[in-house]
Amino acid sequence: MTSSSREILLVSSPEGLITAYDASSGMIVAHFTSSRSPRKGLALVGNNLIAASHVSPDTASGSIHLYNWWSPIAFHHLSVPEPVAPLAATPDGLYLFCGGLSGNIHALMLPSRDLFRSFPAHSKPVTCLTINDDASLLISGGDDGAICIFPILGLLDTACNDTAQFSLYQFDAHLSSVTATSIGTGGSNTTIISCSLDCTCKLWNLAYGTHVRTILFPCMIWGFVMDPTETDFYVGGSDGRIYAGVLKVNRRELLNTDSGVVAWAPENDRAITAVAIANGGVNLVSASEDGTVRIWDTKSGQVIRIFAHERGSISDIAIVKGLRDSRGGHDFGLGGSGVEWGGQGLGFSGREIGRPVRELSHMEEMLSIVVKDRRRAIDRLEAAIGTYQRLLGLILKEAKGGGTDSNNSSKDKAAEM
């Protein structure tokens, strides 16, 4: 039976619901509950898991919820030192980074779920996190207007405890909060992009740590995404418009701060809070603060589909790639019988941490039975050892008593003679 590969759009909300949509049709395929996720608080962990930041409405404490595709309920709640918002995971899913209100970044190990390290990054809350394609760099942005670049290998080095040595670069990039960061492919020659509420996007050269270009917009910028070829970019503005532009321009055009930027016709005046590329760059997905999701045709700049999120406001969106419907239809419903993953997964650790909740419960019950049987066997063995010890004591006592009687008899016979 053939299987068709699809892309799934995940939409999170501060109201406690994550919804999965078919990125082509807009059809709802799954729900995940009980995560009141703040902005940028949604991440894909490997190929099997979904991570969502959660802030308790009762205590305001923070945690991270882990979901798999077999259940709408989080199967793990990861403890964090403080409320966190932005999340980013390494492609292999072994490390999850989260940004806190204090300006610290916290690194968690999976599947152990242990807090590996916390380190200072910003003087104000961390607003966004990005990991490059080869998982060598972590880029963060904050409410302090700064962006920081950290080599992940250094962060994971247990021998290095000097937090001052963690960062590769730190830029006072913007006059207001950084709302999005992105990084291209190409190793040290790649470009880092940062966007801000100061109405600019800025490009930085990774190799030299220098500012390359500033793009000025007529409004605050909330989201940024590049197309797969890294030639075009799209940003979401607070005025409800999508702005499309060209990343690579010649030196003369660099003097023009808005060179090559085109504003698509607005569908409304509500701010666009998140954008994502879908279907190989054919479509752009945007989310507005009123809870509306729009799918755009990138060639024409026209909206081809609109649907409303069930819980109103949207905190983040993410595109899941490599998901397959093994039955060739649209049945991605909860229960997982029609869901497969393509591409590289998490290996053994991914299979173990991504097991269905029912299977994990059954395994725990079986383990509990094995432990009880083991304890019972140990108790019986200890009882048997005690019995043997008592018998041995009686035998030794009997032998000692018999030897004394024999010696007394010999002494009596010697006296008679």
| CATH number, span 4-349 | 2.130.10.10
SS3 per-residue string spanning the chain: CCCEEEEEEEEECCCEEEEEEECCCCCEEEEEEEECCCCCCEEEECCCEEEEEEECCCCCCEEEEEECCCCCCCCEEEECCCCEEEEEECCCCCEEEEEECCCEEEEEECCCCCEEEEEECCCCCEEEEEECCCCCEEEEEECCCEEEEEEHHHHCCCCCCCHHHCCCEEEECCCCCEEEEEECCCHHHCEEEEEECCCEEEEEECCCCEEEEEEECCCCEEEEEECCCCCEEEEEECCCCEEEEECCCCHHHHCCCCCCCEECCCCCCCCEEEEEEEHHHCEEEEEECCCEEEEEECCCCEEEEEEECCCCCCCEEEEEEEEEECCCCCCCCCCCCCEEECCCCCHHHHHHHCCCHHHHHHHHHHHHHHHHHHHHHHHHHHHHHHHHHHHHHHHHHHHHHHHHHHHHHHHHHHHHC
Give the pLDDT of residue 302.
94
Name the β-bridge partners of 292.
308
From first to last of its 417 residues, the chain has per-residue pLDDT tens of 344 567 899 999 998 899 999 988 889 999 999 999 999 999 999 888 999 999 998 888 999 999 998 889 999 999 999 999 999 999 999 999 999 999 999 999 998 889 999 999 999 999 999 999 999 999 999 999 999 999 999 998 888 877 777 899 999 999 999 999 999 987 778 999 999 999 999 999 999 999 999 999 999 999 999 999 999 999 999 999 999 999 876 555 554 556 679 999 776 778 999 999 999 999 999 999 889 999 999 999 999 999 887 767 899 999 998 665 444 444 444 434 334 444 444 444 444 444 554 555 566 667 767 777 777 778 788 788 878 788 888 888 888 776 555 555 555 555 555
Residue 276, both tokens:
């994502």
